[in-house]
Structure 1
Amino acid sequence: MKSRSITRRLLLLLCLTTSTLWLIAAGLGAVVMKSEFGEIFDSALQQTGDRLLPLVVDDLMQHDPSQVPVLGTSTLIPESDGHLIYQVRDAQGRILMQSHQVSSAPFPAPLQPGFWENGEYRIYTTAAVSNTIFVQVADSIAHRQTSTMDAVLTMMVPVLGLVPLSLVAAWLIIRFSLRPVEVFRQSISEKDQGNLKEIPLTPLPRELQPIGRSVNLLLARLRSALDTEREFTANSAHELRTPIAGALAQTQLLLADLYGPDAHNRVMQIEASLSKLSRLVEKLLQLSRAEAGIGATGETVDLIPVLDLIVEDFKRAGAERLLYRHDGAARLLGAVSEDAFAITLRNMIENALRHGDPNQPVDISVLHQRTIVVTNGGKPLEASQLQTIRKRFQRLNSTAIGSGLGLSIIERLAEQMNASFEIASPATNRSDGFEARLTFAAPQGLLPPV
């Protein structure tokens, strides 16, 4: 199931909430605006009628009552420009004056002071001279609606620009706010068997600190479990090696004291069995340590001195076929356990000595300050055979010395040391032989050599 993004969810909810609240506010504003505009237009109608009334009365008093004058006539269509229009009527409803020559019909509003409205006009009526002269001022309803709609649209249009800006602003704010979560996630992802240090809680916000404390508690338990396992493995190795080595030594002493051919052969078989058991126990203990995760550490070390010591140990043990070549100034840096590196190299060299052609040298080379190559002579192997020897307890020759665990141990430790392990046959630039190549990742902050 695909996990949902907190950032996307927060962004969507914030934008929907902001847009909804803005639309609600705009709708309420439109209602209030319509009411306020109505009051403004009514006030304009009333002021116009009240100011026009004394002028009309004065003008009518100066004319012959038998005539019906028309003042201020215009060819403008009142609905087109929003101008107020008026009519002056007598008590019988006759039009004495009007502002526009639109129609000779009087307004439908009754001759009573106050406001009146139909679907077309909002009309204000005021009276004078004992309710014998009436002034009616009208405003178009369509004009009022158009004005209100224009104002509402003016208020709503900015939303179209504010919504994208709100999206960008919300995204930036959310990313900034969730930055401690991302740092915390990165800190957890960096934890492995070689780096189980506690995560600093100071940079975390208060809401994440309980989670950080729980993670640190889990890391502490894991460190304790791994330390216990490593201690048990080390103690077991010592406890197993000692009696086997003692039995083997006693067998060798017994072999020196026996002279009968049958007894001598039996003791030699016992010695061979004990030697095989000793080697198997050693490999099982190495595999156990590899499974316990001893490969990585948090400190970068130079592995060349360890490699020098391993090669020197093999030569002192009689491995004269070793050819060790590297630049005197070469360095092999890696954030790995020196013990795990020693186990890995010993298995690589042991495999080359045991399974290679005894008449050909075993070449050990350090390349580009990152790669160790161990090459031995011998009949080239097929691809299927290379796959077979990678499996545990698998050997091409069942009578050969060995347990079939060497490559499994190397691969497990190489994974923990953040290194790649490759085997090939025939060896590079050769038509025969076997090649094992261990390549370390470039340390952080250093560029790989070219």
Structure 2
Amino acid sequence: MSVKSRSIAKQLILWLSGALFLFWLLAVGLGVSVMREEFGEIFDSSLQETAERLVPLVVDDLYLREDTTTPRKLTALRGSVPDEYLTYQVRDADGRVLMHSHNVTPDPYPAPLTPGFWEDESRRIFTVSAVSSSLFVQVADSLDHRQEAALEGMTALLMPILVLLPISIAAIWWIVRRALLPVDRLRAEIAMKDSGNLSPVELDDLPQEIQPISQSVNVLLQRLTSALEAERELTANSAHELRTPIAGARAQVEVLLEELPEGSAREHAKRADGALRRLAALNEKLLQLSRAEAGIGAGRETNDLVPIVDMMVDEFNRSGPLKGRIRYHRGTDDHLHWPADPDAFAIVLRNLIENAGLHGLGEAPIDVFVEDGQSVRVSNASPALSDAELSQLRQRFARGNDRAPGSGLGLAIADRLVTQMGASLVLSCRSRNGRDHVFHATVQFGEPAA
């Protein structure tokens, strides 16, 4: 079960943006709460001041009137004004309305005739008494007015979020990406390390928090390099040391074969000779593997690889078990220029041709194609192979389902060297006529790096 990787930068951006948004909402909520309280004090002060200033004016006006039995409605000095929120009434001690503003009905307010503030669901009323509590002036303010003022204040605080939040997210993204840039560089450097690139991580400007990671990686790479070098030296030295005794044993067995008459002893000697031949071939592959692990594939200068193909095809066609079986296909003016080591490319081609000879069907011919500036392909008749089997052939000591002799190292060595050259080894098996299959091993070259 695969675990989906998470990005530190993405998490930081999301969490910081979310925290910023929540803190802003909290600040707006506290601001609105304070505004409502302050607005209430301001409106109450205005309400009280208006009522107290109306008292002397109302008393003088009422005492100048003769008829006080019907409520008097004051006429507005201006036309209809939609935003008039304050209304007032003048009532006597019995609760009758003696005078009221033009924007309120003559029905008395539900507020009691008690000096001070009173509030219901729609209005806040301030009552003040005059003339020994025989007259009462009541000034009312609409609560919708107060709610509207608080709502407009809250909207004024929330509106900047629509503009500032995207800008803040962009700023957070830029800051986080810039802060994590050393981490990305370290990740890229570590990702480049493999058995062919074990050079130390050289990043001197890393932050203090991740410098120990770089140092630990370098220590690990140094220990791994030492272990691989020891393994390569052991393989190469062992193979070199085995060459001489294997060659001497083969010579002794060949002399013995010449001296022994036909019989069981001679058959045993033949089997011993075959075993020594297989051991010599395996020893040769181990030498090639040690050279491949040493990274000899990449060349310092660009070479034309077509003459090497010519030489290898001619060598196999002149002698050995594949004599006369190789068909060579190339144009007279074909060239294949690539920065690859000639000896390494010769090892690759030798392994591909030997693999085709060992695992091909019967005595079927082997085709070698050179495509000008693009690829070298070795093809042979083969049993059907699935994609999984083709992928497995690149591994060391991996072999197909046939019983042909071989060490299982040829394609692994070729794949390793081709990768060092900056090219790719493409393995495929295709049907030729609905029954027979053809195995293709293609060294695919791309455009060389500048």
TM-score with structure 1 setting the length = 0.72
Aligned to 1:148: 150
Distance, in Å, in 2 between the alignment partners of 1:85 and 1:397 is: 108
Shift of 1:313: 6.6
- Once the two structures are overlaid, the 10-residue window that deviates more, 312-321 or 416-425, is 312-321
Shift of 1:240: 0.3
- 1:248-305 per-residue CA deviation (whole Å, 9 max, x = no partner) reads 44666x579x8x6639997998588447514423325525864896285694564727
Aligned to 2:370: 366
The change in CA–CA distance for 1:261 and 1:226 in structure 2 (over 3 A counts) is closer
Correspondences of 1:85-100 after superposition (within 5 Å): 85-89=87-91, 95-100=97-102
Correspondences of 1:39-438 after superposition (within 5 Å): 39-60=41-62, 63-64=64-65, 67=68, 70=72, 72-73=74-75, 81-89=83-91, 95-100=97-102, 102-105=105-108, 108-112=111-115, 114-127=116-129, 134-156=136-158, 159=161, 170=172, 174-175=176-177, 177-202=179-204, 204-249=206-251, 262=261, 270=269, 273-274=272-273, 276-284=275-283, 286-287=285-286, 290=289, 294=293, 299-300=298-299, 302=303, 304=305, 307=309, 321=324, 330-333=335-338, 340-350=344-354, 364-374=368-378, 381-383=382-384, 403-405=405-407, 408-416=408-416, 417-418=418-419, 419-422=424-427, 437-438=441-442
Shift of 1:397: 7.7
Distance, in Å, in 2 between the alignment partners of 1:88 and 1:432 is: 113
Q: Which amino acid aligns with 1:262?
A: P
Shift of 1:215: 2.4
RMSD, aligned CA: 5.0
1:44 alignment partner, SS class: helix
Over the matched positions of the two proteins, sequence identity in percent amounts to 38
The change in CA–CA distance for 1:163 and 1:320 in structure 2 (over 3 A counts) is same
Distance, in Å, in 1 between the alignment partners of 2:256 and 2:269 is: 10
2:233 alignment partner, SS class: helix
Distance, in Å, in 1 between the alignment partners of 2:333 and 2:212 is: 52
Distance, in Å, in 2 between the alignment partners of 1:123 and 1:421 is: 91
Q: Which amino acid aligns with 2:127?
A: T
- Once the two structures are overlaid, the 10-residue window that deviates more, 168-177 or 309-318, is 309-318
- Once the two structures are overlaid, the 10-residue window that deviates more, 219-228 or 27-36, is 219-228
2:196 alignment partner, SS class: coil
The change in CA–CA distance for 1:294 and 1:309 in structure 2 (over 3 A counts) is farther
Q: Which amino acid aligns with 1:136?
A: Q
Aligned to 2:6: 5
Distance, in Å, in 1 between the alignment partners of 2:154 and 2:194 is: 61
The change in CA–CA distance for 1:440 and 1:409 in structure 2 (over 3 A counts) is farther
The change in CA–CA distance for 1:273 and 1:15 in structure 2 (over 3 A counts) is same
1:194 alignment partner, SS class: coil
Distance, in Å, in 2 between the alignment partners of 1:320 and 1:36 is: 104
Q: Does 1:30 align with 2:35?
A: no
The change in CA–CA distance for 1:210 and 1:307 in structure 2 (over 3 A counts) is farther
Shift of 1:231: 1.1
Q: Is the 8 A contact 1:193 1:296 kept in 2?
A: no
The change in CA–CA distance for 1:396 and 1:152 in structure 2 (over 3 A counts) is closer
Structure 1 runs not aligned, ≥5 long: none
Q: Is the 8 A contact 1:375 1:436 kept in 2?
A: yes
1:262 alignment partner, SS class: coil
Q: Does 1:439 align with 2:438?
A: no
Distance, in Å, in 1 between the alignment partners of 2:151 and 2:350 is: 87
The change in CA–CA distance for 1:95 and 1:48 in structure 2 (over 3 A counts) is same
- 1:107-129 per-residue CA deviation (whole Å, 9 max, x = no partner) reads 624343x4333444322334556
The change in CA–CA distance for 1:141 and 1:312 in structure 2 (over 3 A counts) is same
Distance, in Å, in 1 between the alignment partners of 2:72 and 2:385 is: 115
Structure 2 runs not aligned, ≥5 long: none
Q: Is the 8 A contact 1:87 1:97 kept in 2?
A: yes
Shift of 1:34: 0.8
The change in CA–CA distance for 1:353 and 1:66 in structure 2 (over 3 A counts) is closer
- 1:91-118 per-residue CA deviation (whole Å, 9 max, x = no partner) reads 6655443214512436624343x43334
Distance, in Å, in 1 between the alignment partners of 2:152 and 2:360 is: 93
- Count of aligned residue pairs for this structure pair: 427
Q: Which amino acid aligns with 2:347?
A: I
Distance, in Å, in 2 between the alignment partners of 1:108 and 1:355 is: 108
Q: Is the 8 A contact 1:255 1:264 kept in 2?
A: no
